[in-house]
Amino acid sequence: MPVFRLSKQVSFPPPELAEESGLLAVGGDLSSERLIAAYRRGIFPWYGEGDPILWWFTSPRLVLFPSELKVSRRLARYLRTTGLRVTVDAAFSEVISMCAEIRTDTRRETWISTEMQQAYIRLHDLGYAHSVECWSDGTLAGGLYGVALDRVFFGESMFSTISNASKIALIHLVAHLRERSFQLIDCQMTTQHLLRLGAREITGESFRELLRHYIQSTAPDGNWTYDTKENS
């Protein structure tokens, strides 16, 4: 399949035309309008510093249905006894910055460039992107962020500076999403970490069908407010 070059017009080729690797298109920009249009179709940007913007639609696709989250007995016990404070949308820019820094510090390639961070902070300011934060003695110790459209949450990245903090963030995210009647979490890339938590692979065709069913509106849902310190 050819890799499509995007123009200034906010549009994408059909996701099913992506290469076997998942690469679909190159170019365009990271405007909020384009990002929302991409996520609605299951397309996401992923590229290295200094490279052109690359757009992907991967198949199979790793997803987590909120009702299928698996929490081991050991993790559940840790969840009950941990002193971590969990908040939602309290430190979005700090979370995305830490996700980038952790990958760099561990010598893993990061796609979360300054340009990407600025783009997702704009989405957060508009009420589309959200974060979950785990705090230890007032210090950010773990978290995650992603984009919400209607009843689908598109997970982008997570980090931990102490054991299990990102898992705790995910557990709280799932609980929060279930309260809001979300039906699907897109995990993008398959990892053993997420498979053990109940995520599973589905075909790209099935994923597209779920998006068509669960995303009827692209209106933002605003800032999410949650704090275990206030809700305990």
Sorted by where each starts, the structural domains of the chain and their CATH numbers stand as 4-60 (3.30.70.3550), 62-231 (3.40.630.70)
217 burial type by CB count under 10 A (0-12 exposed, 13-18 middle, 19+ buried): exposed
What's the confidence (pLDDT) of residue 104? 46
Q: What pTM did the predictor assign?
A: 0.94
For residues 50 and 48, give the distance between their C-alpha atoms in angstroms, rounded to a whole number.
6
What pLDDT sits at residue 224? 95
Predicted confidence at residue 229, as pLDDT, reads: 76
Mark the ranges of the chain whose per-residue pLDDT is less than 70.
1, 103-110, 230-232
CA–centroid distance for 227 within its chain: 20
pLDDT for the residue 232: 54
Res 106: pLDDT? 44
CA nearest neighbour of 63 among 158, 165, 155, 181: 155
pLDDT of residue 211: 98
